[in-house]
Amino acid sequence: MTSPSKAPHTTASAIIALQDTRHSLEHPESYQIAKLLKINEKLKAEVHKYQRSETALLSTKSQLHRLLSCSPVVIYSRQASDGFALTFISNSIQQFGYQPREFLKDRKFWSHCIHPEDILEVCAQLLNLFAEETQICQYRLRDHNGNYRWVQDQRKLMRDEMGNATEIIGSWQDITERKEIEQALFCEKELAQVTLKSIGDGVITTNFSGEVLYLNPVAEKLTGWTVETAKGKPVTAIFQTINELNEEPIESCVCQLLRQETSICVNDDILLISRDGSRYAIDESASPIYNHNQEMIGTVLVFRDVTKPRQLARKIAWQANHDGLTKLMNRRSFEEQLDRAILEARTHQNSHILCYLDLDQFKVVNDTCGHIAGDELLRQLAELFNHQVRTSDKIARLGGDEFGILLHQCPLQAGKQIADKLRKLIEDFRFTWDDKTFAIGASIGLVEINEDTLDLNSLLSAADAACYAAKDNGRNRLHIYQADDHEVAKQREERQWISKIHLALEENRFCLYQQKIIPVNPSKKGQNNHNELLIRMIDREGKIVPPMAFIPAAERYDLMPVLDRWVVSHFFKYYSTLTNSQKQEIYTINLSGSSLTSEQFLNFLKQQLKEHPISPETLCFEITETTAIANLSKAITFIRELKKIGCHFALDDFGSGMSSFGYLKNLPIDYLKIDGSFIKDILKDPIDCEMVECINRVGHVMGIQTIAEFVESNEILQKLQKMNIDYAQGYGIAKPCPLFDSLQTQNQEN
């Protein structure tokens, strides 16, 4: 039964169908024509629709062709039906200089274009595609010009509904430029890695949170951590530092940098504590790492081991301020302490004491046992001094056997007691070396440092003068400086002569005098006249300065060797002006104790004798008895060296010492100059007369000729003749006169 909703439609269709049937029966030809026309219209519509679809398809194909031609990616296809040979390749292959047909025509063309080193790997990967179905691989492909270019081959295996492989679709993309960039980056990275491994500094990099990313080998060694164990840990756990002075922990540079976002550099007293507890003195610095947007993305910490340089620097600093032998403060550092004491005395009205100490009899130890023994004595005394003063006081070795002690905030009376106690300790001290025992004394000068102290130079000058005053007063004494001190004034005057002597040497304001020494009995054979050479200074006004004005200062401040050299060199120059008869006389040159014990002066003399045509037999070197005794071994060596070449020697002031005769037999001398204190009273003092006769007899027994000094009258000369003295010298014989003038006078007389 038909539903009510469909009834009207069914009825209408049936009516139309009946009408068509009736019409076709009534007009059969027209009906066929109309039907054909209708079919034709329908066909036209279908054809038109097909044409539009074909046009759209061609357009799409053309567009796809253009896209593939312009694309940097080469699209290819391998059909299973063709043995998976290349069956399609896009025109973009032209970027390699090829046409698609070259690949499609020859199945082996593609494989021939692959780099020989890559071909096996590429074929193996292609076989694996059937298991993997999708691959991305890279290899080198030769272009039309013969250059190899890197391509990235991305391919996929296509299967049908049954799972059978039907096609391989892939693409080649030229990645040569990317590969070159990668290679350049790789080289840079390798270079950076090698550099970081090669440098002597430790390097640690962190991220923005301060977590470790990298350690170079030096950082691994110093921290005790490896890259693997340290990576990801906070830098504070890897890099632990403390203050070297108080051992308090120090905040890492990285932590400071992350907080302040600015570079940090620290070079002061830092110790790095290694993982195993080892300690290294280091310098460290930290800098931020920025990305291309100038955003901080991490930090780099650079540090270096400065343990040895820091130890060396401290050693050098210590050596710059201390005496290497005694370990006491040296002069430069002590003077800095004195400067501070002077300033403090002026500012706070405090009182300090400077003790200037000079050892007595130290030279005896040096000459008897050698410098090694002398050095040991100085070390032992330095240790003794250290135990006698407070930690606030300063002790220094100022040079040679001189010491300085600064008693900080000490009144004069207390300073005097401390200094005198120290003097007594030195007096009681006994130094033993090679079974020999020596007693040592000390002369001490004391100066108060107060608000009236002018400066360092005046302070040291006063202390030096006070010390020498103590020596002049008998040694092993204490002398306190006073502003109106007569002894100090004397010392100051002597020091003023130092600069005068130097200036006179520079300006050549010295001259030679000579005094005759004649035979007492001219009838004796083999006795020639002697001439003692004497040095004189000329002041700037042209006046002669008497020797006793500058000689004591020259002796005290070790300037006599310079003057001795001047006398020798200038006389040797004058020698060529002598006549033959003058060259037969003997010329006596005085030598100081410093020259007598100096190997350099001995070499100087030998060199002068080689350079000048002077006969050694005409030279006599005069030394004092006290000098010879004080340096007996060196004096004997010096005398023997010059006597080998013909020089003579005279011993001056003989008889003034207590042990003169005991030493005389050890000295290979030619002349004895009897001390003038015995000669001048020989006419009225029988003891002096007996002493002179005794000395003369002993000298003659030993084969030594005698010379009497201070012969001031003809009566004394006659007395000496009766006593059989060999030579006489004094104002009664001839006064000193300029050497050059006397030579000219003698030449004129001849």
Tens of pLDDT, residue by residue over 238-261, are: 999 998 888 888 888 888 888 887
Residues 6+ apart with CB under 8 A from 564: 589, 590, 591, 592, 595, 601
Residue 667 token pair? 């000295």
% residues pLDDT > 90 (the chain): 42
pLDDT tens, residue by residue, 544-570: 998 888 888 888 778 899 999 999 999
CA 384 to chain centre: 34
Question: CA-to-CA distance for 319 and 213, rounded, in angstroms?
Answer: 44
Residues of the chain with CATH 3.30.450.20: 72-174, 199-312
Is the pLDDT at 114 greater than 80, yes or no?
yes
Q: Please tell me the predicted confidence (pLDDT) of residue 65.
A: 63
Report d(CA 721, CA 713) in Å as an integer: 13
- pLDDT for position 748: 47
Nearest to 563 by CA among 654, 645, 497, 648: 497
**Going along 274-329, which residue ranges are E strands?**
279-290, 296-305
Where are the domain boundaries for CATH 3.30.70.270 in the chain?
322-483
Number of C-alpha atoms within 13 angstroms, CB side, residue 62? 6
At residue 2, the pLDDT reads 45
pLDDT value of position 570: 93
Residue with tokens 């632990």: 240
CATH superfamily of 513-749: EAL domain (3.20.20.450)
With bands split at pLDDT 50, 70 and 90, how would you rate the model's confidence at 6?
very low
Pair 507, 707: CB distance under 8 Å: no
- Give dist(CA 598, CA 149) in Å, integer: 88
Residue 31 has a pLDDT of 67
Angle, vertex CA 318, rays to CA 317 and CA 320, nearest 5: 65
Give the model's pLDDT for residue 80.
87
Pick the CATH number of 72-174 from 3.40.640.10, 3.40.50.970, 3.40.50.2000, 3.30.450.20: 3.30.450.20
Write the CB contacts of 556 (distance below 8 Å, at least 6 apart in sequence). Answer: 468, 494
Biggest alpha carbon distance in the chain? 208
Q: Using the Cα atoms of residue 369, residue 371, residue 374 and residue 380 in order, give the sign of their dihedral.
A: negative
Joined tokens for residue 116: 């020989």
- Kindly give the interhelix angle for 456-472 and 486-506, rounded to the nearest 10 degrees: 110
Q: Check: CB of residue 468 under 8 Å from CB of residue 556.
A: yes
| Mean pLDDT on 411-440 | 91
**pLDDT tens-place string over residues 630-641:** 677 888 889 999
Question: 3-class SS at 682?
Answer: coil
pLDDT at 458: 86
Q: Does residue 657 surpass a pLDDT of 80?
A: no
Per DSSP bridges, beta strands 279-290 and 264-273 are antiparallel
Superfamily of domain 322-483: Reverse transcriptase/Diguanylate cyclase domain (3.30.70.270)
Instruction: Find all residues with CB under 8 Å of 16, minimum gap 6, and list them.
Output: none
Bridge-based pairing state of the strands 510-519 and 737-738: antiparallel
pLDDT band at residue 659 under the 50/70/90 scheme = very low
Cα–Cα distance measured from residue 313 to residue 303, given in angstroms and rounded to the nearest whole number: 18
Q: Binning pLDDT at 50, 70 and 90, where does residue 59 land?
A: low
Q: Considering Cα of 562, then 563, then 564, then 569, what sign does the dihedral take?
A: positive
Asked if residue 61 has pLDDT above 70, the reply is no
d(CA 661, CA 371): 29
Q: Quick one: average pLDDT of 169-179?
A: 90
CA-only gyration radius of the chain, Å? 58
Question: SS3 helix, strand, coil % of the chain, rounded to 5?
Answer: 50, 25, 25
For the chain, counts of helices (H) and of strands (E): 28, 29
pLDDT at position 328 is 92
CA-wise closest residue to 340 among 328, 355, 330, 350: 350
Q: 200-214, 403-417, 461-475: which has the minimum mean pLDDT?
A: 461-475
* H helix or E strand, kind and range, residue 364: helix 362-369
Average pLDDT over every residue of 141-152: 93
Identify the DSSP state of 411.
-
Contacts of 211 (CB under 8 A, 6+ apart): 232, 233, 234, 235
Which of the residue ranges 285-289, 309-313, 339-343 has the most confident prediction, judged by mean pLDDT? 339-343
Residues of the chain with CATH 3.20.20.450: 513-749
Buried b (16+ CB within 10 A) or exposed e, 662-672: ebbeebebbbb
Cβ partners under 8 Å of residue 615, min gap 6: 583, 646
Residue, of 339 and 483, whose pLDDT is higher:
339
**HEC readout, 481-509:** CCCCCHHHHHHHHHHHHHHHHHHHHHCCC
Residue 454 to residue 68: CA distance in whole angstroms: 101
| Distance separating alpha carbons of residues 215 and 219, to the nearest angstrom | 6
CB 320 within 8 A of CB 332: yes
Res. 19: pLDDT tops 70: no
Q: Each residue of 178-200: pLDDT tens digit?
A: 888 888 777 777 666 666 666 77
Question: Residue 25 — pLDDT band, cuts 50, 70, 90?
Answer: low
Per-residue model confidence (pLDDT) at position 262 = 77
Per-residue model confidence as pLDDT tens digits over 729-746:
999 999 999 986 554 444
**Alpha carbons 435 and 567: distance in angstroms, whole number:** 42
pLDDT band at 750 (very low <50, low <70, confident <90, very high): very low
Confidence of residue 12 (pLDDT cuts 50, 70, 90): low
DSSP summary character for residue 114: B
**Which SS3 state, helix, strand or coil, does residue 143 take?**
coil
pLDDT at 621: 95
> Residue 208 has which token pair?
């923005």
Question: What is the residue whose two structure tokens read 């951590």?
Answer: 225
DSSP H stretches of helix in 619-738: 625-630, 632-643, 660-664, 676-679, 686-701, 714-722
**CA contacts within 13 A on the Cβ side of 222:** 26
> Per this entry, what is the length of the chain?
750
Distance of CA 222 to the CA centre of its chain: 24
Q: Which two tokens stand for residue 360?
A: 């007595």
Instruction: Kindly write down the DSSP assignment for every residue of 125-194, as one continuous string.
Output: HHHHHHHHSEEEEEEEEE-TTS-EEEEEEEEEEEE-TT--EEEEEEEEEE-HHHHHHHHHHHHHHHHHHH
Model confidence pLDDT, tens digit, residues 573-597 = 989 888 888 888 999 999 998 888 8
Distance CA 735, CA 750 (A): 21
- How far, in Å, CA of 668 to CA of 666, rounded? 7
pTM: 0.47
Of 299, 285, 280, the C-alpha closest to 222 is: 280
Task: Output the pLDDT for position 28.
Answer: 64
* In contact, 527 and 725? CB cutoff 8 Å: no
Look up the CATH superfamily of 199-312. Answer: PAS domain (3.30.450.20)
DSSP 645: T
Average pLDDT, the chain: 85
The pLDDT of residue 517 is 94
d(CA 440, CA 523): 53
Tell me the H-state helices in 473-583.
486-506, 547-556, 560-574
Confidence of residue 658 (pLDDT cuts 50, 70, 90): very low
Q: Which two tokens stand for residue 207?
A: 């991220």
Predicted pLDDT at 522: 78
